[in-house]
Chains A and B, each alone.
Chain A
Amino acid sequence: MRVPNFVWPLVDWSTDSGGHHWLLRAATCAATVCLLVASEIVGTGASFLMLVGVTLTLVWAVVSPDSAAALALLALLGWEWYTSVQDSVTPWTLVAAVSMFVVHTSVASAATAPAGARFVDPRPVRRLVAAVVVLALTAGVWAAGGVLVDVEGSQPVLSTVAALLGLAALGWFVRDASLPRPG
Chain B
Amino acid sequence: MATAPTPAVWRPTPAHLRAAAVGLPLAVAAIAVRRPDLLVLATPLLVITLWSVLDRPREAPRTSARLVSSTLREGEETSLHVDFGLPAGTRQSIATVHSSPWLHLRPRRGVLALAMADEPAATLDFEVRSTRWGEQHVAVVVAATSSWGGYRWGPVGLPDFGVTTLPLPAVFDAAAPAPHPSGLVGVNRSARLGDGSEFAGIRPFHTGDRLRRIHWPVSLRTRNIHVSETWADQDTQVVLVVDATSDVGVSEGIDGAASSLDTAARAAGAISEHYLHRGDRVGLRIFGTARRTRLSASTGKLHLRRVLDILATMSVQPPHLEDNTRIQFGLDAGALVIMLSPLFSVTALGHAVTLARQGLTVVVVDTLPAGLPEQTRDPYVALAWRIRLLQREADVRRVNGAGIPVVPWFGPGSLDQVLRDIGRRASAPRMARR
On A, residues with C-beta under 8 Å from B are: 16, 18, 66-68, 70-71, 74-75, 78, 81-82, 85, 87-90, 93-94, 96-98, 100-101, 104-105, 107-109, 111-114, 116-124, 126-127, 130, 133-135, 137-138, 141-142, 145-146, 148-149, 154, 156, 160, 163-164, 167, 170-171, 173-174, 177-178, 180-183
Contact = CB atoms under 8 A, between A and B. Distances in A.
B14 A111 contact: yes
Contact of A122 (B43, B115, B145): B115
B34 A160 contact: yes
Interface of B: 7, 9-22, 24, 26-31, 33-41, 43-51, 53-54, 56, 58-60, 92, 94, 96, 107-115, 117, 143, 145, 147-150, 152
Given A113-B113, A119-B113, A120-B113, A82 B44 contact: no
A145 B40 contact: yes
14 contacts: A16-B109, A78-B38, A87-B37, A88-B38, A100-B45, A104-B48, A116-B108, A116-B110, A120-B112, A120-B113, A141-B39, A142-B37, A170-B46, A174-B50
B20 A174 contact: yes
A114 B41 CA distance: 29
Contacts of A121: 114-115
A124 B116 CA distance: 10
A147 B109 CA distance: 52
A124 to B, nearest CB: 8
B36 A148 contact: yes
B31 A93 contact: no
A108 B13 contact: yes
B45 A117 contact: no
A70 B18 CA distance: 8
Contacts of B40: 93-94, 96-97, 138, 141-142, 145
B109 A117 contact: yes
Q: Which 4 A-B pairs have the closest CB atoms?
A: A145-B36, A116-B109, A108-B15, A108-B149
B13 A18 contact: no
Nearest to A141: B43
Contact of A146 (B36, B96, B111, B143): B36
A40 to B, nearest CB: 16
B53 A173 contact: yes
Given A142-B40, A160-B31, A171-B24, A118 B109 contact: yes
Given A111-B149, A118-B112, A119-B113, A163 B11 contact: no
Nearest to A61: B18
A90 B46 contact: no
Contacts of B37: 81, 85, 87-90, 93, 96, 142, 145
A104 B47 contact: no
A181 B10 contact: yes
Nearest to B150: A108
Contacts of A93: 37, 40-41
